[in-house]
Amino acid sequence: MSRTNEDWAEAIEAHVAQVNKLTSEPIASSILLPDSSFAQFIDHTLLKSNATLSQIDQLCNEAIKYKFKSCCVNGVNIAQVAQRLQDSASVPCAVVGFPLGASKSCIKASETKEAIQDGAQEIDMVINIGALQSGNYILVYEDIQEVVAAASGVIVKVILETIFLTDAEKIAACFLAAEAGAAFVKTCTGFCGGGATVEDVSLTRRSVAYKGGSVKVKASAGIRSFDKCMDMIRAGADRLGTSSGASIMERSPTGEGSY
Ligand SMILES: O=C[C@H](O)COP(=O)(O)O
């Protein structure tokens, strides 16, 4: 049965109270990273409007070299990335409704379908921030749900744009995303100021913990060093979105970012 907006408000209020009772316990990197490669945490990202074809190619070359989890690009670049990453360990990831989240749900859904047709294997969408802050929870939920449905099994990461949100709104957005079928909640676009913080990663992790680990956390924006990556991972990030992947790998303790 679908929820009314009042039902959502009630469920969100209860969820916020629940999450606020949980304590944040830092996650030991030794537990988190037993045999996984550090590079597989990274979504290697180039989302600038003036990204050239050769810069996109370079992004792919770096992703192949370091075995990053994905190359995260705008929809116009997905076909090129899918072609370049064929037979590599890295997958193409497309952003949708990016960076404002302010396009209609049908447009976000259409972008999603188009990107997947072009080869995207992951989708990062931005929520309808204005709707969230207007208390229009049905719209926020259905917006995410429409993209999840359009993605038809391809994982969807839901960008909250934490810089604009209070803690209660961050918890609400995580709840709506988790209920709508998101695979990840993600902190920021990197286009509106702010960036991933230990506090936000920890809060978002606690906010989706009720799903028993099926909803993961992506820390993104302003991650420029190996140490910051480790802070994010210890705070609970399962994935890191950064446009500094190559320099992070080059400056990591081993020079190759491995343990
Ligand atoms: O999703 C990832 C962000 O857009 C990357 O932000 P950044 O350029 O601050 O690393």
Domains of the chain: 5-17+43-251 (3.20.20.70)
Q: How far apart are CA 52 and CA 252, in angstroms?
A: 27
Q: What single-letter DSSP state applies at residue 77?
A: G
Short-list 176, 187, 186, 188, CA closest to 136: 176
Check pLDDT > 60 for residue 36: no
Q: How far apart are CA 69 and CA 48, in angstroms?
A: 20
- Ligand 1 centre and the CA of 36: distance in Å? 23
pLDDT band at 184 (very low <50, low <70, confident <90, very high): very high
CA atoms within 13 A on the CB side of 91: 14
The predicted structure's pLDDT at residue 250? 87
pLDDT band at 34 (very low <50, low <70, confident <90, very high): very low
218 is catalytic: yes
Check pLDDT > 80 for residue 122: yes
- Ligand 1 centre and the CA of 191: distance in Å? 8
241 lines ligand 1 (CB under 6 A): yes
48 is catalytic: no
Residues 6+ apart with CB under 8 A from 8: 137, 138, 141, 176
Stated as kind and residue range, the H or E segment containing 12 is helix 5-21
The CB density around residue 22, as the number of other CB atoms within 10 Å, is 14
Residue identifier of the C-alpha nearest atom 8 of ligand 1: 243
Query: Coil, strand, or helix at residue 166?
Result: coil
Check pLDDT > 80 for residue 35: no
- Ligand 1 centre and the CA of 7: distance in Å? 35
- Ligand 1 centre and the CA of 116: distance in Å? 21
Q: How far apart are CA 164 and CA 217, in angstroms?
A: 18
Q: Active-site residue among 69, 186, 216, 228? A: 186
Ligand 1 nearest atom to the CA of residue 95, by list position: 1
Q: What single-letter DSSP state applies at residue 67?
A: T
Of 33 and 199, which is predicted with more confidence? 199
Token pair, residue 95, equals 């952003």
Q: Where do runs of H (alpha helix) occur along the chain?
A: 5-21, 29-32, 53-66, 78-85, 105-117, 129-133, 137-151, 167-179, 198-208, 226-235, 245-251
Q: The pTM is what?
A: 0.94
- pLDDT > 70: percent of the chain: 92
Ligand 1 nearest atom to the CA of residue 72, by list position: 1
Q: How far apart are CA 24 and CA 113, in angstroms?
A: 37
pLDDT, average across residues 116-137? 98
Tally of residues, the chain: 259
